[in-house]
Structure 1
């Protein structure tokens, strides 16, 4: 599986108010504001658990690089083309924009985080290829954790934060209309007809 738009993203990928925080979230967190055309999502990032991944995401925020990006993909059991089904929305810079260098993969085995409801994680192709693309989980998706069945390499994805406000916005994007076709057949039925623009990513 592949959650990176540049490889044409093969393989991806609560309650209106704040989602409950895990034990990890009670540790030191950094909050960021992700403003979209459909509303604002507030994220708590875990720098003590996933320092490399959080630093990368904050660099996109601090440099203003995510402005002009979008949420462009929505995956659910009804349109998933992988037997290890998930529910996520995927966003980032897509085919355009300035990307920072790829970062090492901080697996969930290393960080102790899991792909639970509201968790944000990095999209990737091969391990160590993540740059600007990310996804947010709707519901628990253990297939995305280390050892999960979503990717053949079994390394999973790098969870690094959680939605604390704005899951209603996440659900709205998840329900967006999709195109019937896609450049990559794996993503058939998953590409959002009118991608939801990211207006701002900044520290909250």
Structure 2
């Protein structure tokens, strides 16, 4: 064998050795790095809890989304919609009335479609005087909003909010409606808070038993003294015309 042939064979052997060593290292480290799962992937892989039970709530979003403009009322299309709210305690189905509260329903549809509420906890339970479970703040603090606000629609003149009512939460500013909402789990007379009341934009049609279980757990959860003792969080929301 000539010196040139011997050198060529040695070079090929060296390359093969490098390739084999690289393959071994990759296998030891678990192969190529896989991309992190998105929130949508997490929602798709969510395993529903057994009836009457809750599972571990999803992690809250690290950076809640913010939007520059109030969604166009035309999104509500003067129609009634169905929202299926998947939670770690089961599904809550809501009817959204775009004929009576078009701006509110348009906002709800927009935020649901954008996944704004995915991973957000229901951060407040009021068990006396009024009876509501408040949700819709991805920060879990009660101060979060989607970056915009709008006014009150369809508030009851008698301040009566029957069991199953779905209404918007806000501060004393009537223009502070945004992403937070509440479910009334027992008939309540809720003070006007600035003289304008709270927007009623729908009702719960299925899943009030879940809300009742959360209410029965009382307060004092990990998010604070007003949080439900049994954590409940939104995994995702699907909306469609009724």
Task: Supply the distance in 2 between the matched residues of 1:88 and 1:46 (Cα, whole angstroms).
Answer: 20
Give the greater-gyration-radius structure (CA).
2
Residue 201 of structure 2: aligned partner: 160
Paired residues, number? 160
Q: Give a deviation string over 1:47-103, Cα, whole Å, max 9, x none.
A: 0000001111111111111101111211111xxxxxxx2101011124267714112
**RMSD of Structure 2 on Structure 1 (CA):** 2.9
Q: Is the 8 A contact 1:100 1:132 kept in 2?
A: no
Residue 201 of structure 1: aligned partner: 237
Task: Supply the distance in 2 between the matched residues of 1:134 and 1:92 (Cα, whole angstroms).
Answer: 6
Report the alpha carbon displacement of residue 201 of structure 1 after superposing the two structures with TM.
Answer: 1.1
Gaps in structure 2 of 5+ consecutive residues: 1-51, 53-77
* Map 1:83-122 → 2, pairs under 5 A: 85-95=129-139, 99-109=146-156, 115-122=161-168
Structure ranking higher in helix proportion = 2
Q: SS in structure 2 opposite 1:59?
A: helix
Residue 85 of structure 2: aligned partner: 34
For the structure 1 residues 128 and 39, does the alpha-carbon distance in structure 2 shift closer, same or farther, using more than 3 Å as the test? same
For the structure 1 residues 64 and 98, does the alpha-carbon distance in structure 2 shift closer, same or farther, using more than 3 Å as the test? farther
Q: Is the 8 A contact 1:107 1:155 kept in 2?
A: no
For the structure 1 residues 100 and 92, does the alpha-carbon distance in structure 2 shift closer, same or farther, using more than 3 Å as the test? same
Gaps in structure 1 of 5+ consecutive residues: 1-15, 17-26, 78-84, 144-148, 184-188
TM-score scaled to structure 2, two decimals?
Answer: 0.59
Q: Is the 8 A contact 1:69 1:92 kept in 2?
A: yes
Q: Which protein, 1 or 2, shows the higher relative CO under an 8 Å CA cutoff with sep ≥ 6?
A: 1
